[in-house]
Amino acid sequence: MIFASALLAFDTLLRAVASVRRAKRDVRNRLERLREKKGVEEAYGELLKRRGLGGRDGQQSLGSWFNQYVAQTGLEINFAKRILYVTAFCIIGYIITFLFITRDPVLQPIFGVAIGFVLAFLVLRYLRNKRIRIFTEQLSPAIDIIVRSLNAGHPLTTSIALVAREMPDPIGSEFGILSDQMTFGSELEQAMLNMYDRVGAPELNMLTVSVSVQRGTGGNLAEILENLSQMIRDRLIIKAKIKAISAEGRITAWIMLVFPFLLFFMLRTMVPTYFDLVWESGYGTFIVVGCLILIFFGMIVIRRLVNFDY
């Protein structure tokens, strides 16, 4: 029975890993599957609408700053799911407020909603930064594919379609949308600007500017893209070196930021009545707000000290 249980557990783990890898491969070929079911034109609109985007070409609508931010995470979240997730985060914030901050029935909803929105924004920011990082790491190999395809005599549209077909997500789907948009008659510059709006990676803006300048002034596009690919690689290496050098300062900044809150929760847990005199004095709210403002400005100063512009 132990052997059978271990075998079943191992088989379940293998199936889970295989399903995840298969799902990533299916996402990469999403456009092809949509084309088979709905046609090319509907496939492009369907893929964008799933991420909260709509329209075509220069009239593409990102709705608002929030919709653009969500779109850059790569998540396919409709309006109902967004409301559901925000409500869930607010409930978590209410629980955190009830357990660790205050049990005042007036302040609990305020702190709960504020913590919920902050948590939702932090999760979206993490997912967005993670997707941009993965996209940036994939950009140099994608440019290399375009360069080799151009050197082989293929047109630029075919080279872009080759990237969409050969590269995994997120760059595979984004270049697939770019290829479809050009197929529908959009100009290359406008299509790449739309892709930059969907992704938000600074390195992608370099690619857009390079292609636009080359189309306006002429020159060897393959050589330009090859130099750009090498520059992006060097840029990533410099980023990694800077992160390694500044790691001690960044972890110190996080410790200094989190320490006051940890100290407050520790004292409140060990001595629940420790802060009663502060609240009973009538100035507790002003003291807490003032401390939070000072911590906020201190966080800004510390971040400027350890955050390098590269």
Assessment of whether the complete model's pTM goes beyond 0.75? no
Reported confidence tier of residue 61, pLDDT bands at 50, 70, 90: very low
Band of residue 56 on the pLDDT scale cut at 50, 70, 90 = very low
70 and 51 Cβ atoms separated by less than 8 Å: yes
- Which ranges of the chain would DSSP assign to H, the alpha helix? 2-28, 30-38, 40-50, 65-72, 79-96, 107-151, 156-166, 171-183, 188-199, 202-217, 221-245, 247-270, 276-280, 284-306
Q: Assign domain 138-244 to its CATH architecture.
A: Up-down Bundle (1.20)
pLDDT of residue 48: 61
Tell me, what amino acid is at 140?
Answer: S
Nearest Cα neighbor of 45 from 35, 36, 56 is: 56
- Give the pLDDT confidence of 33-44 residue by residue, as tens digits: 555 555 545 555
User: Average pLDDT of 250-275?
Assistant: 83
Share of the chain above pLDDT 70, in %: 84
- Residue 6 pLDDT class (50, 70, 90 cuts): confident
Rounded average pLDDT over 269-296:
81
Higher pLDDT, 111 or 27: 111
- pLDDT value at position 38? 52
Burial of 160 (0-12, 13-18, 19+ CB in 10 A): buried
Q: What is the largest CA-CA distance in the chain?
A: 80
Classified as helix, coil or strand, 23 is helix
First to last CA, the chain: 58
Overall size of the chain counted in residues: 310
Query: pLDDT, tens digit, for every residue of 143-186?
Result: 999 999 988 888 888 888 888 888 888 888 888 888 888 877 77
Task: Domain ranges for the chain, please list them.
Answer: 138-244, 246-310
What letters, b where the CB count within 10 A reaches 16 and e where it falls short, cover 66-86?
ebbbbbbbbbebeeeebeebe
**Mean pLDDT across the stretch 195-217?**
84
Write down the pLDDT at residue 50: 57
State which of 2-16, 70-84, 251-265, 272-286 shows the largest mean pLDDT. Answer: 251-265
pLDDT score recorded for residue 57? 45
For residue 200, give the 3-state DSSP assignment: coil
Q: Is pLDDT at 290 greater than 70 in this prediction?
A: yes
In the 8-state DSSP scheme, what is residue 64? Answer: S
Spatial separation of the C-alpha atoms in residues 163 and 172, rounded to whole Å: 6
